[in-house]
Amino acid sequence: MALSICNPSLFSPHSLHRFKLNPLLLRLGITSRRWSPSSSKSRKRAYFSVVASDGEVFTSPETAKSFDFASEERIYNWWESQGYFKPSFDRGGDPFVIPMPPPNVTGSLHMGHAMFVTLEDIMVRYFRMKGRATLWLPGTDHAGIATQLVVEKMLASEGLKRTDLTREEFTNRVWEWKEQYGGRITNQIKRLGASCDWTKERFTLDDQLSRAVIEAFVRLHEKGLIYQGSYMVNWSPNLQTAVSDLEVEYSEEPGALYYIKYRVAGGSRSDFLTIATTRPETLFGDTAIAVHPEDERYTKYIGMQAIVPQTFGRHVPIIADKHVDKEFGTGVLKISPGHDHNDYHLARKLGLPILNVMNKDGTLNEVAGLYSGLDRFEARKKLWSDLEETGLAVKKEPYNLRVPRSQRGGEIIEPLVSKQWFVTMEPLAEKALHAVEKQQLIILPERFEKTYNHWLTNIKDWCISRQLWWGHRIPVWYIVGKDCEEDYIVARSSEEAHLKAREKYGRSVEIYQDPDVLDTWFSSSLWPFSTLGWPDVSAEDFRQFYPTTILETGHDILFFWVARMVMMGIEFTGTVPFSYVYLHGLIRDSQGRKMSKTLGNVIDPIDTIKEYGTDALRFTISLGTAGQDLNLSMERLTSNKAFTNKLWNAGKFVLQSLPSRSDASAWDQLLSYKFDTEELLLRLPLSECWVVSELHELIDNVTASYDKFFFGDAGRGIYDFFWGDFADWYIEASKARFYDSENQTDAIIAQAVILYVFENILKLLHPFMPFVTEELWQALPNRKRALIVSNWPQTLLPRDVKSIKKFENLQALTRAIRNARAEYSVEPAKRISASIVASTDVLDYISSEKQVLGLLSRLDLQNVHFIETVPDYAKQSVHLVAGEGLEAYLPLADMVDVSTEVQRLSKRILKMQSEYDALIARLSSPSFVEKAPEEVVRGVREKAIEAEEKLKLTKNRLSLLESSVSVRG
Q: What DSSP line would sit under 801-869, residue for residue?
A: HHHHHHHHHHHHHHHHHHHHHHHTT--TT--EEEEEEE-HHHHHHHHHTHHHHHHHHTEEEEEEEEESS
pTM of the model: 0.85
Q: Given this model, what pLDDT does residue 543 score?
A: 64
Does the residue 126 lie in any domain?
Answer: yes
| Contact (CB, 8 A) for 323 and 270 | no
Does the residue 188 lie in any domain?
Answer: yes
User: Based on the domain organization, do 694 and 745 belong to the same domain?
Assistant: yes
Query: Around Cβ 588, how many Cβ atoms within 10 Å?
Result: 16
User: Based on the domain organization, do 883 and 920 belong to the same domain?
Assistant: no
What is the tens place of the pLDDT at every residue in 671-698? 999 999 999 999 999 999 999 999 999 9
Boundary (domain end) residue, out of 406, 438, 463: 406
Q: Given this model, what pLDDT does residue 204 score?
A: 95
Boundary (domain end) residue, out of 873, 896, 919: 896
User: Based on the domain organization, do 135 and 276 belong to the same domain?
Assistant: no
Q: Given this model, what pLDDT does residue 22 score?
A: 57
Q: Given this model, what pLDDT does residue 36 score?
A: 31
Q: Given this model, what pLDDT does residue 4 score?
A: 36
User: Based on the domain organization, do 889 and 904 belong to the same domain?
Assistant: no
User: Based on the domain organization, do 267 and 133 belong to the same domain?
Assistant: no
Is 441 exposed, middle or buried, given 0-12, 13-18 or 19+ CB atoms closer than 10 A? Answer: buried
- pLDDT under 50: residue ranges of the chain: 1-21, 31-54, 547-548, 967-969
Share of the chain above pLDDT 70, in %: 92
User: Based on the domain organization, do 905 and 882 belong to the same domain?
Assistant: no
Does the residue 185 lie in any domain?
Answer: yes
383 to each of 337, 390, 607, how far by Cα in Å? 20, 11, 50
CATH number at residue 915: 1.10.287
Q: For residue 82, what is the enclosing H or E element?
A: none
User: What does the DSSP 8-state code read for residue 271?
Assistant: -
Spell out the alpha helix ranges (H) of 708-786. Answer: 711-720, 731-739, 744-765, 770-779
Does the residue 5 lie in any domain?
Answer: no
> Beta partners for 841?
none
| Contact (CB, 8 A) for 104 and 86 | no
Please give the torsion angle defined by the CA atoms of residues 396, 397, 398 and 399, in that order, rounded to the nearest 10 degrees. Answer: -90
**Distance from C-alpha of 415 to C-alpha of 114, rounded to nearest angstrom:** 34
| Contact (CB, 8 A) for 473 and 211 | no
**Distance from C-alpha of 961 to C-alpha of 594, rounded to nearest angstrom:** 59
Structural domain boundaries enclosing 571: 72-214+520-619
Q: Given this model, what pLDDT does residue 38 score?
A: 31
Type of residue found at 103: P
Q: What are phi and psi of 334, to 5 degrees?
A: -85, 135
Count of domains observed in the chain: 5
**Distance from C-alpha of 743 to C-alpha of 755, rounded to nearest angstrom:** 19
**Distance from C-alpha of 333 to C-alpha of 319, rounded to nearest angstrom:** 10
Residue 379's nearest CA partner among 283, 287, 307 is 283
Q: Given this model, what pLDDT does residue 658 score?
A: 95
User: Based on the domain organization, do 559 and 597 belong to the same domain?
Assistant: yes
Could you tell me how far CA 555 lies from the centroid of its own chain?
9
User: What does the DSSP 8-state code read for residue 239?
Assistant: T
Does the residue 435 lie in any domain?
Answer: no
Does the residue 451 lie in any domain?
Answer: no
User: What does the DSSP 8-state code read for residue 507?
Assistant: T
Does the residue 799 lie in any domain?
Answer: no
Does the residue 514 lie in any domain?
Answer: no
**Distance from C-alpha of 846 to C-alpha of 52, rounded to nearest angstrom:** 41
The rounded radius of gyration (Å) of the Cα atoms in the chain is 37
SS3 391: coil
Q: Given this model, what pLDDT does residue 690 score?
A: 98
User: Based on the domain organization, do 851 and 913 belong to the same domain?
Assistant: no
